A = this chain, B = another copy of it.
Amino acid sequence: MNSPTPRRQVFRLSREQRVAEIMSAAREVFREKGYEDAPLSDIAERAKVVEGSIYRYFENKRDLLVKVIEDWYEGMLADYDLQLAGIRGTRNRLRFMIWRHLSTIHEEPALCNLMFQHLRTGGDYSHTAVHELNREYTRRTLDIIKEGIEAGELREDVPLRLVRDMIYGCTEHRTWAYLRGEGDFDPDATADMIVDLVLSGLERRKPQQPATPDLAERLERAVARLETMTGSAAP
């Protein structure tokens, strides 16, 4: 009847290798086509497996997406810590975080879109490992601010989480057009602007209490005069 379909050449890989192959292929295809427009068949083809094989390792298409983003995040986080370790000072460290986020968006707009549009909006997001990784990711920013407070550089009443939302919200809002494929932006310049703006509201008003030092001086001087008059000297 019909000749027994000749089995394609089978390459046997370990689970880890195969998973890596598929995720790598998926990352590429998702990057090129987005989520909805990326057929599993494309991913399978690029990973050199049949579609069905993907389901051995991933529950479904969404699971594959989640894992791809997860994998990407993990790589990034390791990098973060490495670089952050060499940076000192609240402003510098904060600027690095913002710049890094902007750079990521700049370099991987497609994956970021995946994250922003498909993962973060899903009802199951908070049960996701990506969610956890993201907390990890933004926690560094919180830590930097906390350290700034402890070092006396920042006001003590800074609403931590709101500042974090402000930083990331501002960063992303700034890049919507770019993510949409319109125009470009300069991560360096943008990072400078954002860090300036953010810190302008958080830094201790040392130079800025111009009235206060004057007052203190004047009071001290007045007191000194009184002291002179009364003949009592400071010890």
Contacts and interface: CB of A to CB of B under 8 A. Distances in A.
A10 interface: no
Given A59-B1, A173-B165, A208 B212 contact: yes
Contact of A123 (B169, B181, B221): B181
A5 B16 contact: yes
Interface stretch (A71-79, A114-122, A139-147): A114-122
Copies assembled: 4
A193 interface: yes
Interface in A32-72: 36, 56-59
Q: Kindly state the interface size class of chain A when it binds its partner.
A: 35 or more
A156 interface: no
Contacts of A197: 159, 162-163, 166, 201
B165 A170 contact: yes
A137 interface: no
A interface, by DSSP: helix, strand, loop or mixed? helix
Nearest to A224: B222
Interface in A176-235: 176-177, 179-182, 193-194, 196-202, 205-216, 218-223, 225-230, 232, 234
A168 interface: yes
Given A15-B5, A113-B121, A229-B230, A213 B213 contact: no
A207 B210 CA distance: 7
A90 interface: no
> Which of A15, A168, A197: most chain B CB closer than 10 A?
A197
